[in-house]
Amino acid sequence: MSVPITSLAQMRHWENATWATGQTAAEVIRRVGWCLAQRALQLTRPNDLILLLAGKGHNGDDARAAQSHLADRRVVLLNVDSPSVSQPQLEVELANQPALIIDGLLGIGLNRPLDADWCAFIRRLNSAPAPILAVDVPSGLQADTGEAQSAAIQAAVTLTIGAPKPGLLQLRAAKFVGRLEVAAEVGLIPCPHTAELNWTTPDDFRNFPPARLVASHKGDYGHLGILAGSAGFHGAAVLAARGAQRAQPGLITVLTQAPAYYPVAAQLQSAMVNPWSPTAPFPAEFSAVLLGPGLAAPDLPEALRSATRQLWRDSLRPVVVDASALDWLPLDQAPGPATRVITPHPGEAARLLKTTPAQIQENRLAAVRELSQRLGHCWVVLKGHQTLIGRSTGELFVNSSGNPQLAQGGSGDLLAGFIAGLLAQPAVAVAVGRTLRYAVWQHGAAADVLSARQRNWTVEDLADELGQAN
């Protein structure tokens, strides 16, 4: 299940509640060590050299506990009580070119600036070519605020224990945290806290989407309408349709601008493609509508913008709005009761809120809340590193999958199509929040699978992989 973002004080309370049940710190440390070792094995190959750096606290104990589970790796353990004393030995070990460094130096309790010796030690580690796997929190990073205490380890991966800490999600912490992962099953009792912000896990999607009935047909799974594509931007319509196909609605119809009709139609087989006409009524048989991908040509008719606003206000079916069409929405005017979803990246969110992308990134949670409130309590998928999903009130969710290789043109078109293809299906659309989280997680998980397989994958590869993660 999803994991609440948990402060340092809450973590201490959670640990104490666990010890009160008879569970021991030693057993939790043993399990953390096993989890840490499994991640280290994934990041290395047999006979690779792993340098374990262990400090005096429980983070050091976690790192030491991993050693016995790394049998087919060459492991060097360096216990660091004093950085100045350990510096010469660190130089010796770094000269041996470890394939991975495990940072178990300083834990989440750090609350003061580091002295010059610690700063020098950490700077030397950051200059080494080997990737760093941090235990719980990168050494030197304040767990609640994400501030570096004079210096902080720049990890490739941070395996945090129990639940993410709020500082690990801050934009300023990203270069230290790297990829954030959670070791949730380490012997702690179920988390006794709830939070506004929660971390999505794959377990959230067990038995979802619901299984299809044996005696069913395409009419049971909805008809998605996609209004997308214009001269010079036909690829976005194609990718949105392909993303929708991976969600498997019963039918898909793409309505596109006349100059884009032939290139869009030529690249799609099972999806129907028609030129959009300002005089033709929008088909009533659609069970959901996606508006926006590739509607970026400079000479689009005003009727297209009017149709977007009308559908947003009045449609009784789910409406998903992406890309250029976001700028056409009627702010501060509540839509009808049906599902409404917007999928902006930070630049688009900034235009809607008349601010800058940097300000959006500085407080992404507040941006989701304000966007949703301004657009009638709609659902918001704020894309980017750790995509956020939520509305003006209620829980918000941080997506846990994905990597920087998603930063390619067309990636967002695929996601918008996948979301809309799911919402077109009546049995899936009843759980809107879960559906959005599932779509975003699958999108990121597909990128993770591809990146583990090859370095130079394309958005077309992503379209083929989308929706297959377990």
pLDDT digits 0-9 by tens, 273-297: 999 998 887 888 899 999 999 999 9
Q: What is the pLDDT of residue 109?
A: 83
Lowest mean pLDDT among 102-111, 121-130, 171-180, 326-335: 326-335
Q: What is the Cα–Cα distance from 88 to 352, expressed in whole angstroms?
A: 54
Comparing CA positions, the residue from 296, 298, 254, 260 lying closest to residue 272 is: 254
42-to-69, 70, 83, 100, 441 alpha-carbon distances in Å: 13, 11, 29, 11, 21
Which residues, in sequence order, are CB contacts of 154 under 8 Å at separation 6+? 126, 132, 138, 175, 176, 178
Comparing CA positions, the residue from 397, 11, 5, 2 lying closest to residue 189 is: 11
Where residue 59 falls among pLDDT bands split at 50, 70, 90?
A: very high
Q: What is the pLDDT of residue 1?
A: 76
Q: What is the pLDDT of residue 336?
A: 72
Judged against a pLDDT cut of 90, whether residue 7 lies above it is answered with: yes
Q: What is the pLDDT of residue 389?
A: 98
257-to-53, 96, 239, 261, 325 alpha-carbon distances in Å: 60, 61, 16, 6, 14
Comparing CA positions, the residue from 296, 255, 250, 290 lying closest to residue 416 is: 290
Comparing CA positions, the residue from 320, 323, 302 lying closest to residue 311 is: 320
pLDDT digits 0-9 by tens, 440-469: 999 999 999 999 999 899 999 999 999 999
Q: What is the pLDDT of residue 110?
A: 85
- Alpha carbon dihedral 198, 366, 325, 457, in 10-degree steps, equals -50
Residues 21-49, mean pLDDT to the nearest whole number: 97
Q: What is the Cα–Cα distance from 304 to 310, expressed in whole angstroms?
A: 10
* Cα 214-215-220 angle, rounded to 5 deg: 100
Q: What is the pLDDT of residue 25?
A: 95
Burial of residue 362, with CB atoms counted within 10 A of its CB: 0-12 exposed, 13-18 middle, 19 or more buried: middle
Where residue 337 falls among pLDDT bands split at 50, 70, 90?
A: confident
122 within 8 A of 153, measured Cβ to Cβ: yes
The whole-chain average pLDDT of the chain stands at 95
Q: What is the Cα–Cα distance from 294 to 292, expressed in whole angstroms?
A: 6
pLDDT digits 0-9 by tens, 234-262: 999 999 999 999 999 999 999 999 999 99
Dihedral of alpha carbons 327, 422, 289, 336, sign: negative
Kindly give the interhelix angle for 411-423 and 234-247, rounded to the nearest 10 degrees: 40
Domains in the chain with CATH codes: 3-193 (3.40.50.10260), 218-465 (3.40.1190.20)
What tokens were used for 357? 């992308």
Judged against a pLDDT cut of 80, whether residue 335 lies above it is answered with: no
Where residue 208 falls among pLDDT bands split at 50, 70, 90?
A: very high
- Report the percentage of the chain scoring pLDDT > 70: 99
Half-sphere exposure of 394 (CA within 13 A, CB side): 13
What tokens were used for 140? 């030197």
Q: What is the pLDDT of residue 356?
A: 97
Q: What is the pLDDT of residue 470?
A: 85
Dihedral of alpha carbons 415, 418, 421, 422, sign: negative
pLDDT digits 0-9 by tens, 408-446: 999 999 999 999 999 999 999 999 999 999 999 999 999
Half-sphere exposure of 1 (CA within 13 A, CB side): 4
3-state secondary structure the chain: CCEECCCHHHHHHHHHHHHCCCCCHHHHHHHHHHHHHHHHHHHCCCCCEEEEEECCCHHHHHHHHHHHHCCCCEEEEEECCCHHHHHHHHHHHHHCCCCEEEEECCCCCCCCCCCHHHHHHHHHHHHCCCCEEEECCCCCECCCCCCEECECCCCCEEEEECCCCHHHHCHHHHHHHCEEEEECCCCCCCCCCCCCEEECCHHHHCCCCCCCCCCCCHHHHCEEEEECCCCCCHHHHHHHHHHHHHHCCCEEEEEECHHHHHHHHHHCCCCEEEECCCCCCCCCCCCEEEECCCCCCCCCCHHHHHHHHHHHHHCCCCEEECHHHHHHCCCCCCCCCCCEEECCCHHHHHHHHCCCHHHHHHCHHHHHHHHHHHCCCCEEEECCCCCEEECCCCCEEECCCCCHHHCCCCHHHHHHHHHHHHHCCHHHHCCHHHHHHHHHHHHHHHHHHHHHHCCCCCHHHHHHHCCCCC
Q: What is the Cα–Cα distance from 392 to 230, expressed in whole angstroms?
A: 33
Judged against a pLDDT cut of 90, whether residue 382 lies above it is answered with: yes
Which residues, in sequence order, are CB contacts of 20 under 8 Å at separation 6+? none
pLDDT digits 0-9 by tens, 165-174: 999 999 999 9
pLDDT digits 0-9 by tens, 209-232: 999 999 999 999 999 999 999 999
Q: What is the pLDDT of residue 282?
A: 81
- Report the percentage of the chain scoring pLDDT > 90: 93
344 within 8 A of 382, measured Cβ to Cβ: yes
- Phi–psi pair at 38, nearest 5 degrees: -60, -40
